[in-house]
Amino acid sequence: MKYRRLGRSGLKVSEVSLGSWLTYGASTENDKAIKTIETAYDLGINSFDTANVYAKGESEKVVGEALGKYRRDSYVLATKVFWPMGEGPNDRGLSRKHVFEQLHASLKRLKTDYVDIYYCHRYDPETPVDETLRTIDDLVRQGKILYAGVSEWTAQQIQEAIGTADKYLLDRIVVNQPNYSMLHRYIEDEVLPVSEQHGISQIVFSPLAQGLLTGKYSLSNRAPEGSRATDPKSNMHMNRLLTDEVLSKVEKLDGIAKELDISLSQLAIAWILRLPGIASTLVGATKPEQIIENAKGSDVTIPGDVLSQIEEILK
């Protein structure tokens, strides 16, 4: 496993990170989830991601249990705050109250004293950015958060966060977590340039486009048995991707992967890592075999002529 610096910070994260969205604490049995996390750790993956809202806290419990057996300084643990965790008016968003209370609830579920990265899971138009960043800065000073991040913020919102932090001498964000893959490239136009200008890395989620870039899906088999597409608990984001146009691209990309003697998922991960502004790709895995295969994407370098072929397919 290879490692990259996270933005302008000195923190190093594995090029492949393991996430828990839609899996741990929900659709995956706890024993299998823990074994998968252990396998990832053994492969050299040091970056593990979860969120308070994933399975309403159950995901954090599973991740905390699995990582509890390892030295705390040997891995990078991230969680998030924003989405509703209750029915009350203050049970959501990025207010000082919600951020403060949810961090402590997450620490309790994760059974740890601090998180390495704490993400603002979305931008909150109802809370001033300086209120949120000052709260995170306070928690950094208390040693409960080491690095601040945001997820799915626009370039303008990232710029606002940097300007606010600099104005009030608050801890700067060092990472953004966006959706990015061969099939979802919106960050290339504005988010990446602004982030690189300010020393912010990306740890991207959904690098395999909800599983479409695993080689399982094709025009002739849109919902393979046992795939996410057949699971109503985790397929809610897939319908817009299962089109003839997308699946045609996937089949062509799979052909390129076969020519390189690698899996389509490894090609997809290596393609993302071609960009220096991306520190890590955040993959999901429901069983050890999946993380073993995906981790190998860190070892793949795609030749320039093949990158050009891929670009033609993705147009």
From the list 54, 147, 180, 217, the catalytic residue is 54
* Token pair belonging to 210: 């909800």
Active site residue 54: yes
Rounded CA separation 70/144 (Å): 19
Rounded CA separation 40/32 (Å): 12
Bridge pairing between strands 76-81 and 115-120: parallel
**Vertex 111 angle, CA 142 and 84, to 5°:** 80
Note whether 7 and 276 are within 8 A (CB): no
Q: Tokens 């899971």 appear where? A: 121
CA distances (Å), 74 to each of 62, 79, 116, 270, in order? 18, 17, 11, 25
* Token pair belonging to 261: 């003697």
Active site residues: 54
